[in-house]
Amino acid sequence: MSQPTTKPVTKPATKPSSTEPSLTVPPFSVISGAQVQRALTGREKEIVELIEATYKLHGAGDSVNPPSYFLRFPDRPSSRIIALPASIGGQVRVDGLKWISSFPGNVAAGIPRASAVLILNDHDTGYPFACLESSIISATRTAASAALAADRLSRGRGRPTRVGFIGTGLIARYIHTFLAGTGWSFDEIGVHDLSTDSAAGFRCYLEQSGTAGQITVHESAEQLIRLSDMVVFATVAGEPHIGDPSWFAHNPLVLHISLRDLAPEILLASANIVDDVEHCLQANTSPHLAEQLTGNREFLNGTLDDVMAGRVTLPADRPVVFSPFGLGVLDLAVGKFVYDEVIRSGELHVIDGFFHELRRHG
């Protein structure tokens, strides 16, 4: 994992007395999407290791990750903007906020559904020191989490050789990229999307990526699920649309990234792993619906950190479903990684004088 560098600092805003701590206001920088992409491209293994370390820090309590806040709109019920505040310790030592919007109607207009920025705050002063384009960071941390879960949750069960993608947008593309970049290869790749154009576009991406596996576009989700050892859900579904547990009778590994695809009955017939219990059991996710249906959380086997630490052993005779809510600390870790890489490249764009009123009495 890359070691963080010391960020540049300006002169102190005020001259401290001998009894006051010596603090400086960090310069404020803006990092573009192009810079983010350059910092992350080809670093899949390194980012997965970073995500693994971050999950361990979170599991050890060296983080603050309050509930996400959902801004919803009565006149635009399918759209939302989510605030994910967080703080992480360890070697990262940064606070911050991801502000990410999801407007599904964008897709019909030919622009991406999601857009985001990430603000990084200085650990000691609280001053923001960077604003990063974050749709790429968000997709990266989501894909790295999925690749990590695919590895950890398949150990002892046999490595899947047939993968199926339900939902074929940017997140699905990033997940496939991270699987391929961390050593996965598949004999068969299944594709299903309600949009035939999206399915065709994803198939074209797979062919151009040089994958050796046979690619099949399935007309139905049932056909894809029954023919896959690992199923990746990366849709924009707002409520369950898969409800028959018999489709999973062959006990596949399910990366339930979009969180609201599966009816509670499927989860109750499966082993269930989440990233964080309290976060996942809210906002009418499928695990939250299962809790509402049963009145308890006994259907949960534990967290991904529990599995990595050996506190949870997964059964071989049930489907395994990984439902990650998506933790803000993951965005912070990847964002700080990008910030450090941009500094190393010498391309950090500092906004001179961004913080203007720095003297208490003028």
Q: pLDDT tens across 309-342, in order?
A: 999 999 999 999 999 999 999 999 999 999 999 9
* CATH, domain range 145-323: 3.40.50.720
Q: What is the mean pLDDT of residues 25-41?
A: 97
Q: What is the mean pLDDT of residues 105-129?
A: 94
* Predicted confidence (pLDDT) per residue in 168-205, tens digit: 999 999 999 999 999 999 999 999 999 999 999 999 99
The per-residue pLDDT for 13 is 43
Residue with the two structure tokens 């991904």: 304
The per-residue pLDDT for 2 is 40
Q: Is the pLDDT of residue 10 over 60?
A: no
Measured distance CA(211)–CA(185) in Å, rounded: 8
Q: What is the mean pLDDT of residues 81-101?
A: 97
Q: Which long-range contacts (CB under 8 A, 24 or more apart) does 32-36 make?
A: 32/133, 32/349, 33/133, 33/135, 33/136, 35/338, 35/342, 35/347, 36/132, 36/133, 36/134, 36/136, 36/137, 36/338
Q: Is the pLDDT of residue 40 over 90?
A: yes
The per-residue pLDDT for 17 is 46
Q: Is the pLDDT of residue 18 over 80?
A: no
Q: Is the pLDDT of residue 14 over 60?
A: no
Residue 20: band (very low, low, confident or very high) from pLDDT cuts 50, 70, 90: low
What does the mean pLDDT of the chain come to? 93
Please name the residues in contact with 214: beta carbons below 8 A apart, sequence gap of 6 or more.
187, 188, 189
The per-residue pLDDT for 360 is 82
The per-residue pLDDT for 299 is 98
Identify the residue with better confidence: 229 or 113: 229
What are the residue boundaries of the structural domains of the chain, listed by start? 28-137+328-351, 145-323
Of all residues in the chain, the percent with pLDDT exceeding 90 is 88
Residue 217 is encoded by which pair of tokens?
Answer: 């576009």
Asked, colleague to colleague, whether 28-137+328-351 and 145-323 share their fold, the answer is no
* Predicted confidence (pLDDT) per residue in 286-307, tens digit: 999 999 999 999 999 999 999 9
* CATH, domain range 28-137+328-351: 3.30.1780.10
